[in-house]
Amino acid sequence: MSVRRVCQAVFWSFFGVRKGRDLESDAAHIKPVHIVLAGMLGAVIFVVSLIVLVSWITH
């Protein structure tokens, strides 16, 4: 459950939106290190998927 939680939290943070209630449970259940790692992983996924998208557009 914890991996999913972290991924959810990071996904919503890229969008910049998070419910206060979810945030409190995030704060209680997730370690900051996990957030940082997931955030960087999220950044990599973000870059790779954009690059795939634009290479597909320009093939």
Partner 1 sequence: MQAHALEHEHGHGAPSGLMRWVTTTNHKDIGTLYLWFAAVMFLLAGSMAMAIRAELFQPGLQLVSPDFFNQLTTLHGLIMVFGVIMPAMTGFANWQVPLMIGAPDMAFPRMNNWSFWILPAAAILLVISLFLPGGAAAAGWTLYPPLFIQGGISYDLTIFAIHILGASSIMGSLNIITTILNMRAPGMTLMKMPLFVWTWLITAFLLIAVMPVLAGAVTMLLTDRNFDTHFFNAAGGGDPVLFQHVFWFFGHPEVYILILPAFGIVSQIIPTFARKPLFGYASMVYATASIAILSFLVWAHHMFTVGMPAVGQLYFMYATMLIAVPTGVKVFNWVATMWRGSLTFETPMLFAIAFVALFTIGGFTGLVLAMAPVDIQLHDTYYVVAHFHYVLVSGALFAIYAGVYYWLPKWTGHMYNETLGKWHFWLSMISFNVLFFPQHFLGLAGMPRRIPDYAVQFTEFNMISSIGGFVFGASQILMLIVVLQCIRGGRKAEAKPWEGAQGLEWTVPSPAPYHTFETPPVVK
Closest CB 2 distance from partner 1, rounded Å: 18
> How deeply is 10 buried, as exposed, middle or buried, from its count of CB atoms within 10 A (0-12, 13-18, 19+)?
buried
- Both tokens of residue 55? 């290479």
Q: Cβ closer to partner 1: 2 or 53? A: 53
Closest CB 5 distance from partner 1, rounded Å: 14
Contacts with partner 1 by CB under 8 A lie at: 9, 12-20, 22-24, 27, 32, 39-40, 42-43, 46-47, 50-51, 53-55, 57-58
Q: Cβ closer to partner 1: 4 or 15? A: 15
Q: Cβ closer to partner 1: 3 or 32? A: 32
What is the per-residue DSSP string for the chain?
A: -HHHHHHHHHHHHHHT---HHHHHHHHHH--HHHHHHHHHHHHHHHHHHHHHHHHHHH-
